[in-house]
Amino acid sequence: MGFLGYLVRKKNYVTLLATFVMAIFLMAALLAPFLFDWETATRVTLDTSLLSPSLAHPLGTDELGRDLLARVVWGARITLIVALVSVAIAMILGVLIGSLCGYYENWFTDAVMRFMDFMIAFPRTLLAIIVVTVLGSGVLSLTLAIGISTIPANVRLFRGPILALKRRQFTVAAKALGARDSSILFSHILPNTTSLIIIQGTLSLAEAILIGSGLSFLGLGPQPPIPEWGAMIAASRAHITSHPHVILAPGITLFAVILAFNLVGDALRDYADPRSRKAI
Amino acid sequence: MGTYIIRRLLTLPLMLLGVSVAVFIILHLIPGDPARMAAGPDATEQDVAQIRANYGLDQPLPVQYGIYLKKIAQGDLGDSFQTLAPVTEGIARTFPATLELTVAGMLVALVLGVPLGIYSALNPRGAADRFVTSLAVLGISIPGFFLGLVLMLVFASMLGWVPPTGRGTWRHLVLPALTLGLPYVAAFARLTRSNMLDILSEDFIRTARAKGLSWTKVTYRHAMRNASIPIVTMLGLDFGRLLGGAAIVETVFAWPGMGRYMVEAIMIRDIYVIQGTILVFALSVVAINLFVDVIYGIIDPRITYS
């Protein structure tokens, strides 16, 4: 594997570990229904509440007696679905609007860019909160809120390279040969931004998980008993002093997953273009 | 430079109009009938129609927008459905707390970040340098609410140095300000470092050294002053971000700020409170950006607005 080999060669063991964490996260998300049934993750059994970690419950149980490992694993699935779909929305629309605004430079695309700049000035969390306010709380509106609030930044990010690429010789040549605008844009220009899309996608996943968990913590995301990490922490935080494990189990998992995506995204950037490495 | 500031100020009415239109549209996108909510659960159809007429909710949208603008100009943001108190009262009560928290968070980031950046610029490739790089990734990866709860667990519950929640003395402010500011320390350190490195290699620094000025004087007088320009820009950008993150930190520490006021209103669809708080948040962001641009024009005379 090229990327893993690259990490070993660079002795970047931290990122190698991050790739491993990412793999476990993906496995947990995919295999959740086979590892624990939904009942185990959601059924309230008060006689087992707030148990410390043991063999029967490796991460202990929460205040409603539910096995924390089962909830954390199911939480991975919810987190992955929300993050993947929201990043897909943000990337598809961001790349599309960004490339159109880069390819066609006129008063309309200028106005669109002005609007995007205006939106970027507003904090992401606040934008996402506003979208949730309009759509109501739940898994779907959380996903849309994260996706929509990321679009302006993506538009600006992808417009730059398109502006540069459309002045390159191969684009001019394609135009001279009589290629249509759509074919120039989609088969000549956009393929050149693939690595940017992959890198940005990975980093966006980290940000989507961060913002999503924050909104869920505020109660604007999936509603109980759905085991979302941010919502789990919000529900259990009264017990932080007496039973810290109820906060630490989902909290450390959440932190580790976001960190892993950020580290892998950074390493992918160096891997794709060694020149872009931060100058020292 | 005077014309730059005036021109920049002239864009303000346009921005305000944009914000007010956006907030007005949001109000109308929120599901739920404000007249019915204001009337309460026991109201008859007639009551609801009466309230709708009183609020002007039966008018066409552009007319409603006019009414809304006029009310804002009179300092009337409507009343909360839940407490029946004016929204302006709620904002006046909660906004100072949010501002206090955001400014304190910003100070944490500045006071820890800038010296760390200067130190690592003067000692490149040292331990501080590596520390800043690791800290940067950690800073963008840790969820604010988790950092806050861990700080609360360690410094309030286990060590008992500061109170866990509430607002009052400076002790109450310590943990929320750290939670808000710590993730930005590395960002400020990195920016300061790269600016300092750029500026330290410039001709005027060499000239200053050649004419016999001491290292301290060159570093802190000549280099630091020039390196501060991008820091001001970032201060403005991050101020908005901190303001956005305040809602989460306020919830963790039961800080009676506007973020919590907004989130609690969202939960019960208290439309006028939602609208008023979003408006004030948006205006704060616009004001900060304007302020930064003006400051920018003052400290860097090369900038002109076109």
* B148-185 tens-digit pLDDT: 999 999 999 889 898 888 888 888 999 999 999 999 99
Q: Using the 3D structure, point to which of B73, B95, B117 is the last residue of a domain.
A: B73
pLDDT greater than 50 at residue B90: yes
In-domain check, residue B100: yes
pLDDT of residue B306: 43
Contact A133/B245, CB-based, under 8 Å? no
Which of A190-204, B30-44, B58-72, B227-241 shows the highest mean pLDDT?
A190-204
Residue numbers in B near A134 (CB within 8 A)? 26, 29-31
- Are B152 and B295 part of one and the same domain? yes
Task: Return mean pLDDT, chain A.
Answer: 89
Count up the domains in chain B and report the number.
2
Considering the entire predicted model, what is its pTM? Answer: 0.89
- Are B64 and B114 part of one and the same domain? no
Which residue would you say has higher pLDDT here, B2 or B229?
B229
pLDDT greater than 60 at residue B305: no
- Closest-CA residue of A relative to B153 is A241
In-domain check, residue B38: yes
pLDDT greater than 80 at residue B40: no
Q: Convert the pLDDT of each residue in A84-94 to its tens digit.
A: 999 999 999 99
In chain A, the domains with their CATH numbers are 3-278 (1.10.3720.10)
- Are B130 and B232 part of one and the same domain? yes
- Are B92 and B68 part of one and the same domain? no
Interface test with B, best of A17, A117, A118, A130 (most B CBs within 10 A): A130
Give the model's confidence band at B301: pLDDT under 50 very low, under 70 low, under 90 confident, else very high. Answer: low
Rounded to whole angstroms, the Cα distance separating A131 from A170 reads: 41
pLDDT greater than 60 at residue B1: no
Interface test with A, best of B130, B137, B255 (most A CBs within 10 A): B137
pLDDT of residue B302: 63
B272: CATH: 1.10.3720.10
Q: Using the 3D structure, point to which of B73, B102, B127 is the last residue of a domain.
A: B73
pLDDT of residue A279: 39
Contact A210/B141, CB-based, under 8 Å? yes
Interface test with A, best of B26, B29, B125, B146 (most A CBs within 10 A): B146
Is the Cα dihedral A98, A103, A109, A114 positive or negative? Answer: positive
Residues B119-155 as b or e (16 or more Cβ within 10 Å = b):
bbbbeeeeebbeebbebbbbbbbbbbbbbbbbbbbeb
- Are B154 and B252 part of one and the same domain? yes
Cα of B50 to nearest chain A Cα, Å: 26
Residue numbers in A near B263 (CB within 8 A)? 129, 218-220
- Are B188 and B288 part of one and the same domain? yes
Is the Cα dihedral A245, A251, A252, A257 positive or negative? Answer: positive
- Are B136 and B21 part of one and the same domain? no
Which residues in chain A show pLDDT less than 50?
Answer: 277-280
- Are B63 and B124 part of one and the same domain? no
Contact B137/A259, CB-based, under 8 Å? yes
pLDDT of residue B101: 94
Domain that holds residue B49: 2-73
- Are B66 and B121 part of one and the same domain? no
In-domain check, residue B78: no
Contact B143/A259, CB-based, under 8 Å? no
- Closest-CA residue of A relative to B245 is A125
In-domain check, residue B23: yes
- Are B107 and B165 part of one and the same domain? yes
In-domain check, residue B96: yes
Q: What is the mean pLDDT of residues B19-30?
A: 81
Percent of chain B whose predicted confidence (pLDDT) is above 90: 25
- Are B206 and B239 part of one and the same domain? yes
Coil, strand, or helix at residue B79? strand
- Are B203 and B292 part of one and the same domain? yes
The ipTM value here is 0.90
Give the model's confidence band at B198: pLDDT under 50 very low, under 70 low, under 90 confident, else very high. Answer: confident
